[in-house]
Amino acid sequence: MDNVLGYQGKRAVVTGAASGMGAATAEVLAELGAEVIGMDRAPIAVAVQQAIAIDLLDPASIEAAAGQIEGDVHAFFNCAGLPGPPFTDLETMLVNFIGGRQLIETVAPKMPSGSSIVYVASAGGIGWQSNLAAFMDLFATDGYGAGKDWLEAHPELWEGNGYAASKQAINAWTAWRSVGMMRDNGIRLNCTNPGPTSTAMMPFFHDAVGKSLVDAAMGPVGRYSTPEEQAWAMVLLGSERASYVVGESLYADGGFYGALQTGQIDFSHLMPSD
Ligand SMILES: NC(=O)c1ccc[n+]([C@@H]2O[C@H](COP(=O)([O-])OP(=O)(O)OC[C@H]3O[C@@H](n4cnc5c(N)ncnc54)[C@H](O)[C@@H]3O)[C@@H](O)[C@H]2O)c1
């Protein structure tokens, strides 16, 4: 059976294509025969059909980047993101959620029924359900500026915790927004929750929370994942073969979530030591 995952001749947009998971996803999609449009604020080295500069902190740049896409988009992978420190919590919320949401909403009208969106969240977003009421209020905001204003008026949701809050927001938004996207446009929206992955972002996590805490989030696989492993999880989720998978959070975390849910992770290792 040829073209098992159905990407041959399809147009795919990948953000964060300059590095890590986004670069790996762009490469896998190209190998599968897709026409890949890469987006990033940094130069894109992997072979893509079109490279578009974008700064997800800047709504004008988001609008301009989306405007450079010609024709239909069949698959969208939003991999760009910030790790938290040394970036501020607000910057992290804006790039990881407000900017990502804005780009997705701007590109969605170019996506025909049957197409799919995969948004990279994180295992760091576990527990998002406890903040759902606040997130639903945020999701009612329309556009980048309104989303930013809401965040500035509600620092209690994210201050001191920008990375986890941004990833919780992605999980919650995926669950909520997938309904309208499917009902109105036939688009499947899902997200992935990667565990620790060996990319350029990892040293920032080690600096921010300590290597031992990151290592404790490895799960029973007992190692960090590669960007290629995260890319394949995304590519499988975005494939038309996953046509009945909608609004899901896929944990690509080496078994961490299952272990956590069933009490097989020692919580004391998860707390930063004083
Ligand atoms: N590495 C991990 O352990 C890990 C774990 C869970 C989730 N994630 C998430 O995976 C995604 C990919 O991260 P990665 O690990 O491949 O890191 P990475 O640093 O290798 O890649 C992130 C990319 O995002 C781009 N980017 C950052 N800010 C941007 C902006 N304002 N506008 C446009 N592009 C911007 C960067 O230029 C970079 O190319 C991120 O959303 C990250 O939060 C990473």
d(CA 242, CA 210): 36
Spatial contact of 69 and 110, defined as CB atoms under 8 Å apart: yes
201 alpha carbon – ligand 1 mean position (Å): 7
- Which residue bears the tokens 């997705």? 104
191 - beta bridge partners? 119, 249
What pLDDT, on a 0 to 100 scale, did the predictor assign at position 273?
45
Coil vs helix vs strand at 6? coil
Q: State which ligand 1 atom lies nearest to the alpha carbon of 123.
A: 6
The domain locations on the chain are 11-261
- Ligand 1 neighbour 41 (Cβ under 6 A): yes
Q: Phi, psi at residue 174, to the nearest 5°? A: -60, -45
Q: Are strands 75-78 and 116-120 parallel, antiparallel or unpaired?
A: parallel
- Ligand 1 neighbour 203 (Cβ under 6 A): no
42 alpha carbon – ligand 1 mean position (Å): 11
Closest-CA residue to 189 (of 98, 120, 257): 120
Residues 6 or more apart whose CB falls under 8 angstroms from that of 156 comprise none
What pLDDT, on a 0 to 100 scale, did the predictor assign at position 1?
81
What pLDDT, on a 0 to 100 scale, did the predictor assign at position 270?
59
- Ligand 1 neighbour 252 (Cβ under 6 A): no
Q: Which is it for the CA torsion 171, 154, 137, 188, positive or negative?
A: negative
Q: Which is it for the CA torsion 121, 118, 20, 254, positive or negative?
A: positive
Q: Which is it for the CA torsion 104, 109, 110, 113, positive or negative?
A: positive
Q: State which ligand 1 atom lies nearest to the alpha carbon of 124.
A: 6
pTM, rounded to two decimals: 0.97
What pLDDT, on a 0 to 100 scale, did the predictor assign at position 265?
87
Coil vs helix vs strand at 191? strand
Residues of the chain with pLDDT under 70: 267-274
- Say if residue 196 is preceded by a cis peptide, omega within 30 of 0: no
145 alpha carbon – ligand 1 mean position (Å): 22
Coil vs helix vs strand at 15? strand
Q: Phi, psi at residue 191, to the nearest 5°? A: -135, 165
Q: Ligand 1: which of 174, 193, 199, 215 to mutate, most ligand atoms within 8 Å of CB?
A: 199
Closest-CA residue to 251 (of 233, 269, 224): 233
- Ligand 1 neighbour 215 (Cβ under 6 A): no
Which CATH number does 11-261 carry? 3.40.50.720
Q: Which helix (H) or strand (E) holds 132?
A: helix 132-139
Instruction: Please return the burial class of 14, using the count of CB atoms within 10 Å of its CB with bins 0-12, 13-18 and 19+.
Output: buried
What pLDDT, on a 0 to 100 scale, did the predictor assign at position 269?
55
d(CA 255, CA 29): 25
Two tokens, residue 239: 């494939």
What pLDDT, on a 0 to 100 scale, did the predictor assign at position 274?
41
Q: State which ligand 1 atom lies nearest to the alpha carbon of 61.
A: 32
